[in-house]
Every structure is written in C-alpha cells, then in structure tokens.
C-alpha cells in the first residue's frame, strides 16, 4: 500500500491523450454564469476541485455538483485532485443556506451533493448532507437531490462499533429522502489498497447493501474508474459484486491523471471496450448504465432520474 508521501514517476514524453478523450468546453458566458454564483456564495464544486473533464459541458447546461464540507479532504486517495490535509476547513453552519441560494439563483431542478471525507467530524459529514437538503427544499421542495457520499467510516475501537456508527450516519442521510444514493467503488478489489486509501472494497459494498435495506425505495448507484491497471474480467467481477448488493445504477469512466503526484494511467480503455462493459452491465440487471471515457459519477445525473 502506498504511503501519503508517494510521488509517482512522470508521464513518458511520448504519451498523449488518445483522440477519443475530448471534453466539450461550453461558451464563456455559460461557464461564467455558474462560476460567478459559486464564487459569490463562497462555495466549492467537485467540478472544479476534482478537475472534472466535463465541467464545461455541465456548466453550459447550468448544472453543478456541490462539494460540501470545504475543499480539504481528510483522506489521501491516489487518484483524486481534491486537496488533502489533516486540518480541514472548520465546520461552516451557514454553508447549507448558501448552497440553497445558489441552487435557487441558478434555477436548478436536479442537484448532486457530495462531500470531502470529513473523518474529523463526529458524524463524518452526514449532517452536511441533511442540512443542505433541508435548506434547498425550504426554498423549492420540487428540486430533486442526489447524494454522493463517502463511506462514513472511521475513528472506532472495533469493527462492530464502526459498523453501527456507519449505519446511524447512513440512516440519517436516507431519512432526508434523496432521489438517489450514490457511493463509488472506484476500482476493482485488487487495486483498492493503493487507489482508495482509508476505504475498502467490502466496506463500500456493505454501505450500498445497507442503503437498499434501509430505504428500498431509493435507488443506489456506484461507479468505477478504468485505466488504473485492472483487467476486463476484474471489472466484470466488480459489476457482479455491485449487483449482488442490488446496486441499480452504474457509471464507468476513464481515469485521467490530475498531476504527476497522482497514480499514473496504466492504459486508456477504448470506446468500444466501454460499450462492451456497458452491455454486460445491462445484462447483469442494472437499471441505468453510463459507460464511456468521459463519464463521471454525476455526468447527466438528472437524466437518470
């Protein structure tokens, strides 16, 4: 397992993005409209913090995924551009209202809420979701809200205590009735240790299973990045594992290296390979599937509702 101080080797000079990796940029006025509201409300979006390749397209459509809990994550995943640190942003009780005001100003009808991992908070960030959902609905009860959560795990003396605490946090978020509960598996089981520091494959599957048990009327969703060194059959096994816990919606996309400090791309999967995996996912029984090089967790999320 890699340590937090890992620095990976540079991308070989001959390596270039393949022709099929191309993100729409949107128009300047459309981009500035969303960015202006986000800056005015002193908010963060995973679109910017995570350097999402689709942020131009999504901004042009007037949508964004709000990042709650500040821009500093308490974990150190090898793939993620979000800033890491042991001293995250202090809790801001006014954040939920600012998110709600931004949603109202942008006239959004479908909103995705996510957070950095906040292992420093007693509820590990569950309250960030519930507060933001309540604030948004006070202004417009018709807004559909999807949540993309961390695993709500950590800081416990033993596994039983950890599982009980995780379940309490999950129950609180589901009680707020999001239209979709999303938690990403991120990669295949073999690669979890290096890619997802602080999380585990089985713990994530357990969270998705618990969500189906606690709120069977709320669809669950998960996603994987390809290009980290996984094999085709390993991906298919991960899809089977997701269906075994009745995960219903799926996103598959290509990992793009944010910087030389992040884990390198092992290879770029071709569009036809994404199509083949998407077909397998449909056959396995997923009710919604998005599979393509630039697909991300929240890509066209509202169209899946």
pTM score = 0.84
The DSSP annotation for 120-180 comes to: TSTTTTHHHHHHHHHHHHHH-TT-EEEEE------S-SSHHHHHHHHHHHHHHHHHT--SE
4 belongs to a structural domain: no
> Which structural domain, as residue segments, surrounds residue 140?
28-304
2 belongs to a structural domain: no
Mean pLDDT of the chain: 81
299 belongs to a structural domain: yes
Query: 93-148 pLDDT, tens per residue?
Result: 889 999 999 888 888 888 899 887 667 777 888 999 999 999 999 999 999 999 99
For residue 75 the two structure tokens come to 């974990």
| Percentage, residues of the chain above pLDDT 70 | 70
22 belongs to a structural domain: no
226 belongs to a structural domain: yes
Domain count for the chain: 1
Q: Is the pLDDT of residue 53 over 80?
A: no
Backbone angles phi, psi at 129, to 5 degrees: -70, -50
Residue 4: predicted pLDDT? 38
19 belongs to a structural domain: no
Q: How confident is the model at residue 156 (pLDDT cuts 50, 70, 90)?
A: low
Q: Provide the 8-state DSSP code for 268.
A: P
Q: How confident is the model at residue 162 (pLDDT cuts 50, 70, 90)?
A: confident
CATH number, position 44: 3.20.20.70
11 belongs to a structural domain: no
Q: Is the pLDDT of residue 8 over 70?
A: no
Q: Is the pLDDT of residue 72 over 70?
A: no
């Amino acid at each position: 397992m890699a340590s937090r101080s890992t620095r990976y080797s540079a991308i070989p000079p001959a390596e270039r993005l393949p022709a099929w990796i191309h993100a729409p940029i949107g128009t300047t006025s459309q981009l500035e409209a969303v960015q202006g509201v986000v800056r005015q409300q002193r908010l963060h979006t995973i679109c910017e913090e995570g350097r999402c390749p689709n942020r131009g397209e999504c901004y042009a459509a007037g949508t964004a995924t709000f990042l709650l809990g500040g821009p500093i994550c308490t974990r150190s995943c090898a793939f993620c551009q979000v800033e890491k640190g042991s001293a995250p942003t202090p809790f801001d009780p006014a954040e939920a209202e600012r998110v709600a005001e931004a949603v109202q100003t942008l006239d959004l009808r479908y909103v995705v809420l996510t957070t950095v991992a906040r292992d420093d908070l007693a509820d590990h960030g569950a309250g960030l979701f519930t507060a933001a959902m309540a604030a948004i609905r006070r202004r417009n009860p018709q807004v559909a809200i999807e949540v993309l959560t961390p695993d709500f795990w950590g800081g416990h003396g033993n596994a039983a205590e950890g599982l009980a605490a995780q379940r309490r946090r999950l129950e609180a978020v589901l009680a707020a009735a999001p239209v979709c509960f999303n938690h990403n598996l991120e990669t295949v089981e073999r690669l979890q240790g290096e890619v997802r520091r602080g999380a585990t494959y089985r713990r994530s599957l357990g969270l998705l299973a618990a969500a189906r048990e606690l709120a069977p009327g709320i669809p669950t969703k998960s996603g994987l990045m390809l290009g980290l060194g996984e094999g085709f059959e390993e991906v298919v096994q991960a899809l089977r594992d997701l269906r075994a816990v009745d995960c219903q919606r799926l996103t598959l996309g290509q990992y793009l290296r944010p910087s030389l400090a992040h884990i390198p791309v092992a290879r770029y999967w071709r569009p036809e390979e994404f199509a083949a995996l998407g077909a397998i996912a449909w056959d396995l029984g997923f009710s919604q599937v998005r599979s393509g090089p630039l697909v991300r967790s929240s890509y066209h999320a509202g169209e899946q509702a």
